[in-house]
Amino acid sequence: MVISPFAAWMLAQEARALLTRLAHVKPFALIEPMLPAAALQPDAQVATERYLLAGRRALRALVLDFLAWLQGARAGHATAAEAQRRFTLLRLRFNAVLTQFDLFNDVISQRSERDIGVWLCGLDVVAADALRLPGVYQSPPLMCYLDRGIGAAIRRARTRLPGGGESPVAIIRVPRERMVGSGIASSLIHEVGHQASALLDLTTSLRPLLQGMQRGGGNAWKLFERWIGEILSDFWSCARLGISATLGLMSVVGLPRPFVFRLSLDDPHPVPWLRVRLSCAMGMAMFPHPQWRRLEELWSAYYPLDGLDAAHRQLFAEVLAATPGFVGLLANHRPPALRGRSLQEALGVAQRQPARLDALFGQWQRAPSAMYRAAPSLVFAVLGQARANARLTPEEESHLFGRLLTHWALRSALNDTTPAVRPRQEPGLTVH
């Protein structure tokens, strides 16, 4: 039976209602109050607004096409069921557009929170600095937001959004409980490492090498291949932050004992106990120093292997035995995108050795203004090393990072790369 005038009228009313609701979806620039220093980075703001505007325009065109179809001659030969099917698909698309709007709204609405909004802008600056590799790739826009829980996550740029389409920006979720201190950097830059790994296509270039190492038998290299995505992000974080990355990781995976030793065949994350040991091994390979041995001993004291079954102990022993070779493979890997340079060379680990970080901290004690001119990821590395060396207390660290995040946000808002000189001693740089 062809569609009745009443059925066509009902569907037209529903379609017009969609248009009305769509008209209430405004650009974030018109609806989200925030301090200029809390605003998104301009490239992230523009990319997000353009993406959502294009989605709204496309949806409006689909609704108008549906209304034109209802009023046209072709609908006169269609059934009510066919018309309802067309409208149902249209409404699903409408809901997908709203879902994407809400996704970005959840991120952007935090920018209106006092202090938090400005600090988030500061984290955007830190993330962009940690991702930057001049001359290698063009970094996508990034935006950060806070959420509950102890772990961080990323929705990488150019990956599929709910309802279809690719995200125009990288969205990084960081745990609220880590604000504000050097621990936030470990979580943040680990997630940045996921984006960097995708831009460099590291898993593609590394998997054949890891598979080749499996021909000798054993389980360690099979596990390394399974875990390679997460390990690469830990490597990126360690290369950028030094010991601060490992200390932050220990804080995240310091869970009740059963979780620390649990091995899941479906989990892309390394077993937490092994993950910390891998981070220490990466640190030792890139930044030779006795501090990594101390951290290994501390972690083993926190979670001794006593009571672990023989199969787990054997597996852990295999992984630890293969770890030096595996870490060396990572540090010296030369993916095509780096044009002959190794990962550790491209990441400039020679400039972030513990002795240099410690020396920079001493210099910044005498001239704090230099700290505000340094690259944000380097600042996190220096202050994390100072914390590990007991030269900075947690209270001082939190106060100082709050000031730094505010400074980077303000500098970004003013588009000014020359920060004001601070002649007085910073409270967070007192000598103990």
Please tell me the distance from the alpha carbon of residue 270 to that of residue 265, in angstroms, as a whole number. 10
For the segment 92-115, the average pLDDT, to the nearest whole number, is: 82
Comparison of pLDDT for 149 and 312, the residue scoring more:
312
pLDDT tens-digit series, residues 339-355: 999 999 999 999 999 99
pTM confidence score: 0.85
Domain boundaries, the chain: 5-111, 201-239+250-341, 353-429
Above 50 in pLDDT, residue 313? Answer: yes
Return the bridge partners of 146, or none.
174
User: What count of other Cβ atoms lies within 10 Å of the Cβ of residue 266?
Assistant: 5
For the segment 251-267, the average pLDDT, to the nearest whole number, is: 89
Comparison of pLDDT for 430 and 255, the residue scoring more:
255
Q: Are 146 and 113 in contact (CB under 8 A)?
A: no
The owner of tokens 């990572």 is 330
153: helix, coil or strand?
A: strand
Q: What is the pLDDT of residue 414?
A: 83
- Average pLDDT of the chain is 88
| Sequence-separated (6 or more) residues with CB below 8 Å from residue 181 | 394, 397, 398, 401
Sheet holding 170-175, edge to edge: 142-147, 170-175, 153-155
Relative orientation angle of helices 394-414 and 116-131, to the nearest 10 degrees: 80
**If you ran DSSP here, which 8-state letter would residue 261 be given?**
T
Relative orientation angle of helices 376-388 and 220-241, to the nearest 10 degrees: 100
Using 50, 70 and 90 to split pLDDT, how confident is the model at 426?
A: very low
Q: What is the pLDDT of residue 115?
A: 82
| Sequence-separated (6 or more) residues with CB below 8 Å from residue 316 | 271, 273, 274, 305, 308
pLDDT tens-digit series, residues 261-285: 998 878 899 999 999 999 999 999 9
